[in-house]
Amino acid sequence: MRLNRSLFAGLTLLALAPTVGRAQEGRLFNNSWFWGLGGGTLTYWTSTTAHSQAPTVSLDWLITRTHWALYLGADQSFFSANNLTYTEVGRLYTDSTLTNFNNVSYYAQAHVRNSRHIQGALMAFPGHGILRPYAGLGISGNFVQGATMTSTAPALTPSSQWFPQFYQDTYRSQASEWVSPLVIVGLQAQLSRFSIYGQAKLFPMDAPQYQPRFFTDQAFFMLQAGIRINASTAIGSF
């Protein structure tokens, strides 16, 4: 929570940004390519943690028009969590010749380390001037990293016909990777050829009942602040 309070305090400082010439405001924002670097926190929920935070670094690319922009971004979160529940599946043969079988699902536990989020969104910048609020909608590809199984499979009879790891890490990989909607709201302050920004990202989740994710089916979110550099003009980009 201390990190979140620091980020909120940083956002309030945007209102104190120095002024620049009105004639340059549009030129320094419209039809431009911005490269951004930032940091913040990821707040998440898992099967064993009701509420936890992890530090996050981010890179983004913003291609602007007058009131619209294309946002491409990547976030890397650093954390370690144990005993996260997911659905594993094994194969139980019903005859001694190992011809007929049933797939048996069971709950397994895993240790995970870090997560990566690759995003794309269409952004709206409705205002003019130095301070530009914005909002966007898009999608995010989410990847839990370093997932390793820590629990043992249930014992079934006959044990000689039960292959709990028949599908190896197939189901663990499915629990580690998913696509979610993305909502972004933020505020950007234009300072000559660079800008400072603060933003929040919301990732709604809807984990299917038959395939629980390592994150539970609640939204998780990021709070971020950083700097964007106006690298060049983008006339005719999109």
- Would you tell me how many other CB atoms lie within 10 Å of the CB of residue 226? 19
The confidence score (pLDDT) of residue 21 equals 43
23: pLDDT strictly greater than 50: no
CATH of 2-78+113-146+169-233, one of 3.40.50.150, 2.40.160.20, 3.40.120.10, 1.10.390.10: 2.40.160.20
Tell me the per-residue pLDDT of 176-197, one tens digit each, with 9 for 90 and over: 888 999 999 999 998 888 899 9
Q: Is 205 helix (H, G, I), strand (E, B) or coil?
A: coil
Lookup result for tokens 């946002």 = 71
Give the Cα separation of 149 and 112 in Å (integer). Answer: 9
Confidence class for position 20, pLDDT limits 50, 70, 90: very low
231: pLDDT strictly greater than 90: no
State the DSSP code for 214: S
11 backbone dihedrals φ, ψ, rounded to 5°: -65, -35
Q: Is 129 helix (H, G, I), strand (E, B) or coil?
A: coil
The confidence score (pLDDT) of residue 68 equals 94
Higher pLDDT, 96 or 217: 96
- Sequence-distant (6+) residues with CB within 8 A of 119 are 71, 72, 73, 74, 75, 138, 139, 140, 141, 182, 201
Tell me the per-residue pLDDT of 52-72, one tens digit each, with 9 for 90 and over: 899 999 999 999 998 999 999
Sketch the domain layout of the chain as residue ranges. 2-78+113-146+169-233
The confidence score (pLDDT) of residue 217 equals 65
Strands (E), 97-176: 101-124, 131-144, 148-149, 162-163
Tell me how far the alpha carbon of residue 156 is from its chain's centroid: 38
Buried b (16+ CB within 10 A) or exposed e, 52-74: ebbebebebbbbbbeeebbbebe
7: pLDDT strictly greater than 70: no
Tell me the per-residue pLDDT of 76-113, one tens digit each, with 9 for 90 and over: 999 998 888 888 999 999 999 999 999 999 999 999 99
The confidence score (pLDDT) of residue 27 equals 67
